[in-house]
């Protein structure tokens, strides 16, 4: 009798718990419009165990509209590198980059250029001067972005401290183009095309036609969610097709260094920190373009925002982290 009751309770109350969870999440997202700290917020999508349980657009925005995901695209570059390795186009993270980019090396190169590896670029440990922040403008104003990045003086040794630089992921885009003979956008569409709802729209290119690795990529919030779900599922599509190697997902999320600005751990294109008492992997773009994955809760969350300046400096990124914490609490309560 007791066993029959337990089975009945599980069958009956689990759907009720899920309904209550969705109601709480819906109420939470509905109330965000009144929060001054979240005024730039455009969209939020929450997916639990592969199913969208809450989705909202604010101030006329929708989750299907295209948005510039900025540096959140660095995680996509990382995925393409992992696929290229699995296809034999690259040897692995320890492969040195100088032989591939030799045509753009300085005339009298610093010997340390020969030590930089694919993995160093992925983890922002190349050692070259940063081409982000105050240096970004002069870098993208140069005639050859690859050559300009490789000509920068070293601020640390290859494999040393984290020096966050979009030039590092752009060098990866150039490398992918060299070894495949195809534009990076074509690779993304071919290799990630099997992922349902994944689509890249407009994407900026450098003067040589190389797609800007790690910035200026247009994508909808739903497309970013589809990419996040791919990683949450260990590189598999919802149909079970292995698109990104499972071991590459693990390698990408392995902490290799730490941001000197936030202290967050960093792997291959992904940050990591504890939020809401859970371990969270996230891709982060300028102005508050966020892709969060919480493996322990089978949770994927996307947030897109109007560009409102550097989100780390004005506190907006922390407000988004706090919002994720509230979402996590709503999920944990069931």
Question: Is the pTM of the predicted complex or chain greater than 0.95?
Answer: no
Nearest partner of 90 among 178, 179, 182, 187, judged by Cα: 179
197-204 — which CB contacts under 8 Å span 24+ positions? 197/222, 197/223, 197/225, 197/226, 198/223, 198/226, 198/227, 198/230, 199/223, 200/76, 201/66, 202/66
Is the pLDDT reported for residue 79 higher than 90?
A: yes
Tell whether the model's pLDDT for residue 155 goes beyond 70.
yes
Beta bridge partners of 205: 211
d(CA 285, CA 59): 21
pLDDT at 16: 67
Euclidean distance between the first and the last CA atom of the chain, given in angstroms as a whole number: 26
- Could you tell me how far CA 52 lies from the centroid of its own chain? 19
Does pLDDT of 161 surpass 50?
A: yes
Give the residue carrying structure tokens 């993995």. 119
pLDDT of residue 311: 62
Of 59 and 332, more confident:
59
What class, spelled out in words, does domain 73-220 have in CATH? alpha beta
List 183's β-bridge partners, or say none: none
Query: Of 32-36, 54-58, 68-72, 94-98, which range is least confident?
Result: 32-36
Per-residue model confidence (pLDDT) at position 15? 63
Non-local CB neighbours of 164 within 8 Å, separated by 6+ positions: 124, 130, 132, 259, 261
pLDDT in tens, 238-265: 999 999 999 999 999 999 999 999 999 9
The whole-number average pLDDT for the span 165-176 is 98
* Residue 309 pLDDT: 65
């Amino acid at each position: 009798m007791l066993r029959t009751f337990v089975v009945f309770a599980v069958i009956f109350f689990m759907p009720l718990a899920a309904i209550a969870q969705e109601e709480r999440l819906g109420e939470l997202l509905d109330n965000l419009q009144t929060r001054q700290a979240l005024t730039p917020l455009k969209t939020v999508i929450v997916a639990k165990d592969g199913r969208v349980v809450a989705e909202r657009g604010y101030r006329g925005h929708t989750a299907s509209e295209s948005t510039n995901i900025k540096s959140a695209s660095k995680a996509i570059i990382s995925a393409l590198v992992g696929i290229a390795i699995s296809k034999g186009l690259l040897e692995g993270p320890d492969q040195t980059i100088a032989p591939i980019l030799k045509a753009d090396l300085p005339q009298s190169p610093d010997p340390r250029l020969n030590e930089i590896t694919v993995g160093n670029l992925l983890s922002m440990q190349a050692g070259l001067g940063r081409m982000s922040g105050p240096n970004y403008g002069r870098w993208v104003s140069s005639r050859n972005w690859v050559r300009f990045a490789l000509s920068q003086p070293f601020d640390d040794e290859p494999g040393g401290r984290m020096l966050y630089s979009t030039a590092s992921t752009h060098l990866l885009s150039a490398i992918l183009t060299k070894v495949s003979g195809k534009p990076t956008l074509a690779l993304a569409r071919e290799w990630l095309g099997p992922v349902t709802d994944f689509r890249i729209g407009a994407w900026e290119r450098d003067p040589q036609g190389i797609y800007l690795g790690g910035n200026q990529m247009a994508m909808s919030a739903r497309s970013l969610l589809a990419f996040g779900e791919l990683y949450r599922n260990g590189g598999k599509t919802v149909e079970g097709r292995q698109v990104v190697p499972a071991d590459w997902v693990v390698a990408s999320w392995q902490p290799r260094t730490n941001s000197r600005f936030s202290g967050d751990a960093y792997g291959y294109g992904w940050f990591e920190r504890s939020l809401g008492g859970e371990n969270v992997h996230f891709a982060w773009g300028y102005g508050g373009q966020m892709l969060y994955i919480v493996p322990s809760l089978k949770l994927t969350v996307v947030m897109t925002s109007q560009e409102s300046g550097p989100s780390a400096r004005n506190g907006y990124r922390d407000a988004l982290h706090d919002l994720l914490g509230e979402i996590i609490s709503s999920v944990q309560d069931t």
